[in-house]
Amino acid sequence: MKHLTGTVKSDKNLHSAIVDVVKFKVHPIYLKRIKVNKSYAVQNDLGAKVGDRVRIEETRPLSKTKHWKIAKII
């Protein structure tokens, strides 16, 4: 199972949250690190609030966009 760490960006939906995951890529020519953000729709059963650092893990498809759930609030 895949695990990612990110920050809760939105918790306005009933059982869902939007988690922003920051990764760093290296530019192929200039060899500088570039920050890349990606947002994931996750199942929020633990009640995480905006600004919380969370660990998310991959799960079966729960809806059209939700394929992740919050495993732990850090």
pLDDT of residue 11: 96
Number of domains in the chain: 1
CA distance 25 to 65: 25
Residue 8, domain extent:
3-73
CA distance 59 to 57: 7
Enumerate the β-bridge partners of residue 15: none
Domain CATH for 10: 2.40.50.140
pLDDT of residue 68: 98
The helix (H) or strand (E) run that includes residue 7 is strand 3-10
For residue 1, name the pLDDT band (cuts at 50, 70, 90): confident
